[in-house]
């Protein structure tokens, strides 16, 4: 989720709210269309916010694989490691190089 996505959602909701409160008892067809367009824009912006939440939780690899050891109680990951298999693999390789294994 980015700040721009959040601002787009807020803008679309404010526009829809302004249109809705300005409606008369019997709104014209173009007014109803304007409201529907603003609500569609708000829905698209809300869906874009949810797209940031990925299985890995990783900003660098949002569509990457989840580490199979994540949440394993018998062989837990070190503290601070996340769910991203690619990042955890990089950490494993760096640790092996520091220990002299290649």
CA distance 59 to 49: 14
How confident is the prediction for the chain on average, in pLDDT? 85
Q: Are 82 and 44 found together in one domain?
A: no
Is the torsion defined by CA of 24, 30, 35, 38 positive or negative? negative
Q: Are 34 and 66 found together in one domain?
A: no
Q: With bands split at pLDDT 50, 70 and 90, how would you rate the model's confidence at 39?
A: very high
Tokens of 21: 């409160």
Domain that holds residue 86: 56-101
Q: Of 36, 51, 66, at which residue does a domain stop?
A: 51
Total domains in the fold of the chain: 2
| Residue 102 per-residue DSSP state | -
Q: Are 44 and 71 found together in one domain?
A: no
Q: Are 61 and 87 found together in one domain?
A: yes
pLDDT value of residue 88: 93
Percent of the chain with pLDDT over 90: 32
CA distance 86 to 80: 15
Model confidence, pTM: 0.50
pLDDT in tens, 41-90: 988 888 777 655 677 888 888 888 999 988 888 888 888 898 899 999 99
Q: Are 64 and 40 found together in one domain?
A: no
Q: Are 68 and 30 found together in one domain?
A: no
pLDDT value of residue 80: 86
Whether the Cβ atoms of residue 24 and residue 52 lie closer than 8 Å to each other: no
3-state secondary structure 72-101: CCCCCCCCCCCCEHHHHHHHHHHHHHHCCC
Q: Are 76 and 62 found together in one domain?
A: yes
β-partners of residue 84 are 66
């Amino acid at each position: 989720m980015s700040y721009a996505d959040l601002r787009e959602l807020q803008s679309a909701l404010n526009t829809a709210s302004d249109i809705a409160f300005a409606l008369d008892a019997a709104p014209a067809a173009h007014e109803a269309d304007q409201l529907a367009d603003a609500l569609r824009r708000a829905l698209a912006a809300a869906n874009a916010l949810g797209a940031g939440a990925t299985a890995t939780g990783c900003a660098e690899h949002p569509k990457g694989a989840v580490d199979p050891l994540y949440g394993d109680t018998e062989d837990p990951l070190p503290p601070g490691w996340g769910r991203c298999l690619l990042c955890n693999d990089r950490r494993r390789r760096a640790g092996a190089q520091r220990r002299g294994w290649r």
